[in-house]
Amino acid sequence: MESKSKNKTVWGSLIALGTFFAGKLKFLAFFAKLIKFKTLISMFISVGVYALAYGWKFAVGFVYLLFMHEMGHLIAMKNKGFPVKPAIFIPFVGAVISVDPRQIPNAKVESYIAFGGPILGSIAFLPFAGLYWATNEPLWGVLMFVGAFLNFFNLAPVSPLDGGRIVGVLSPKIWFLGLLGMAVYTYFNPSIIMFLILIFGITALFDRRKQILHHDLLIDQIAFLEKELFAGWGNPEENEWILTQIQQEERRLENLDYFKKRKLKIQMELIKYKKKVLEEKDNSLKSYNAELLMEQFEKNLSADLKNFKSELNRLKGYYKTDAKTKWAVLITYLVLVIFLAIFVGYGHSIMEAHRDVIR
């Protein structure tokens, strides 16, 4: 009798969930537009791999949690007008979505996209909580815990995790504190995943340094292009002499040792760009249709100048955010962390209560 009652409760819960989602056909149709063939194939492969290790029920639930998290990012990207690429599922790693960082105009937009995953991911595990409360079935409790923990862990303030991308709008300096905390945690709880995230986090700090160097390079490139456009065609002999000087300087820098090259990286990049521009100019001036080629050359320089100025403005204002946005991000972040921490704690107590069943 008790078994029949329990089965009715399970089916009742599933029917309720089915009715809820059936009433959201527009929402599901929107999801269908975002799902690509590559996503489906990688999802099925992941389900198969996880099923071999943990059983098919857990595998389906776990991939669903990953899927919903990535859909959160995709929906946020769609809302901001970014071209949406398919999510690719990688067994025992998770799922990834590729996006060109140069398309993201500022840290505010990056934070918005990063929030999408944990927010939808947090909603995604709630049905498992409802099923566990209705049935006391350990599997639902485990999936609830896994969903809460995945999103909670993802909010660690370390780039490239979602938390790192979110707190970047407050200050990139927080990444260093997050890395420090993660390094301590990894020392006492070593794992390959934690070690890899630590490596990626350190790489992100170096990328921030590269961003600063790129900013300086753009300033030098803009100054050079403005000078070239102002000078006009110039004298072919003079242009050839300048090009020879540039080529000699490039050879000198190439002969330096590795560490000196690292220090002079901006100078080397600038020299290479100057050489490319001056070689194109020299070839155009020596051509039989020099006038036509020089007109195109100047158009190319103007286009480069416009692109460099646009990129420089993007970098200059990337982390500049108003106080209202910072407070909104901070409060949302803390609320999400607390909400997930509660469910992680509750899920852990479920795991402990059913330790004899869960292996």
Q: Both 312 and 339 in a single domain?
A: no
HSE-CB at 298 with a 13 A cutoff on CA atoms is: 14
pLDDT at residue 324, rounded to an integer? 92
Q: From CA 9, how far away is CA 11, in angstroms rounded?
A: 6
Supply the pLDDT for residue 23: 45
Tell me the pLDDT of the chain averaged across its residues: 78
Residue-level pLDDT at 95:
66
Cβ(81)–Cβ(29) below 8 Å: no
Q: With 50 as the cut, is the pLDDT of residue 274 above it? A: yes
Q: At what angle do helices 138-154 and 56-79 cross, to 10 degrees?
A: 40
Least confident of 222-231, 249-258, 336-345: 249-258
CA distance between the termini of the chain: 29
* CB within 8 Å of 73: residues ≥ 6 apart: 87, 97, 113, 114, 116, 117
Task: Please check the confidence at residue 18 and state whether its pLDDT lies above 60.
Answer: no
Q: Tell me the range of 107-111, 195-199, 271-275, 308-312 where mean pLDDT is highest.
A: 107-111
Could you tell me the pLDDT band of residue 4, with boundaries at 50, 70 and 90? very low
Of the chain, the percentage scoring pLDDT greater than 70 comes to 78
Question: Is residue 25 scored above 70 in pLDDT?
Answer: no
**335 or 82, which is more confident?**
335
Q: Between 182 and 231, whose confidence is greater?
A: 182
**Same domain, yes or no: 166 and 272:** no
pLDDT of 9 strictly over 50: no
Q: Which domain holds residue 284?
A: 211-316
> In this structure, are 269 and 133 located in the same domain?
no
Please tell me whether residues 237 and 146 are part of one structural domain. Answer: no
User: Residue 312: pLDDT above 80?
Assistant: yes
* Predicted pLDDT of residue 161: 86
Distance of CA 212 to the CA centre of its chain: 19
**Co-location of 327 and 309 in the same domain:** no
Same domain flag for 220 and 292: yes
336 and 282 assigned to the same domain: no
DSSP-derived 3-state class of residue 90 = strand
The answer on 137 and 236 residing in a single domain is no
Q: Which of 83-97, 153-167, 211-225 has the lowest mean pLDDT?
A: 83-97
Note whether 111 and 329 are within 8 A (CB): yes
Which range scores top for mean pLDDT: 222-236, 303-317, 324-338? 324-338
The answer to whether position 140 is within a domain reads yes
Q: What is the pLDDT of residue 262?
A: 64
Q: Are residues 280 and 349 in the same domain?
A: no
The pLDDT assigned to 261 comes to 65
CB contact at 8 A, 201 and 174 = no
Shared-domain flag, residues 309 and 326: no
Is residue 200 a part of any domain in this protein? no
Mean pLDDT of 94-116: 81
Mean pLDDT score, 279-306: 81
Nearest of 347, 327, 328, 326 to residue 122 by alpha carbon: 347
What residues contact residue 320 under an 8 Å CB cut-off, 6+ apart?
106
Q: 258 and 145, same structural domain?
A: no
- Distance separating alpha carbons of residues 204 and 224, to the nearest angstrom: 30
**What pLDDT shows up at residue 235?**
65
Claim to verify: residue 57 and residue 162 sit in the same structural domain: yes
Spatial neighbors of 181 by CB under 8 A, at least 6 apart, are: 156
Q: Is residue 57 part of a domain?
A: yes
Residue 357 — very low, low, confident or very high, per pLDDT cuts 50/70/90? low
Instruction: Confirm whether 18 is domain-assigned.
Output: yes
Identify the pLDDT of residue 199: 84
- Residue 154 in domain: yes
Distance (Å, rounded) from C-alpha 320 to C-alpha 170?
Answer: 9
Whether 66 maps to a domain, the answer reads yes
Containing H/E element for 58? helix 56-79
Q: Residue 38: what pLDDT?
A: 62
Q: Give residue 132's pLDDT.
A: 92
pLDDT at 29 over 50: no
| Closest C-alpha among 273, 259, 261, 263 to residue 218 | 273
| Res. 44: pLDDT tops 80 | no
The pLDDT assigned to 342 comes to 94
pLDDT per residue as tens digits for the range 32-41: 444 555 667 7
Secondary structure class of 106 (helix, strand, coil): coil
| Domain count along the chain | 2
Q: Which residue has the higher pLDDT, 173 or 43?
A: 173
Asked if residue 358 belongs to a domain, the reply is no
Does residue 203 fall inside a structural domain? Answer: no
